[in-house]
Amino acid sequence: MGGHHLGVADGVRVADLLFPGVGVEIEEMIVGEGEVRLAVRSVAASAACPGCEHRSSRLHCYYKRRLADRPVAGRRVRLELRARRLACGNDRCGQGTFAEQIPDLTSRNVRRTTALTAQLTDIALFLGGRA
């Protein structure tokens, strides 16, 4: 499947299997020996400004975010997210521009998905903090 663009297989989108209810589209998937790289982007029409909660769809620019995700079939998963920086439309907000966060996938200043963080937390709690 190296470098193939993904569509719909038997009525099920790969993005819905890997990221149910998240609202992303997989643009490209590259399967390597020990790693799966997924180029993804948000499909949301707008995002909420963290300063004032005003929703905006006014694009300022794109930037690339690299995130680790849960392994699949014994392979490490890396997301290359085409993230949006949006301009806040609220004149009273001092935020100016802000980076879009995708609910249930990204958080500010982290390099792994919310699901991977939850999985690692579960493992740490199960081990009781032991290595």
Q: Where are the domains of the chain?
A: 8-126
Helix (H, G, I), strand (E, B) or coil at 122: helix
Residue 92, SS3 per DSSP = coil
Residue 69 exposed, middle or buried by CB count within 10 Å (0-12, 13-18, 19+): buried
**Cα separation of 62 and 5, whole Å?**
21
Confidence at 19, pLDDT banded by 50, 70, 90: confident
Condensed to tens digits (0 to 9), the pLDDT of residues 65-123 reads: 999 999 988 999 999 999 999 999 999 998 999 999 998 899 888 999 999 999 999 98
Model-wide pTM > 0.85? no
Paired residues of 131 in beta bridges = none
Predicted local distance difference test score (pLDDT) of residue 117: 93
Instruction: Report pLDDT for 130.
Output: 64
Asked if the model's pLDDT at residue 62 lies above 90, the reply is yes
- Please give the sequence-ordered ranges of beta strands (E in DSSP) within the chain, or none if there are none: 8-9, 12-13, 24-31, 35-42, 47-48, 55-56, 59-72, 75-87, 97-99
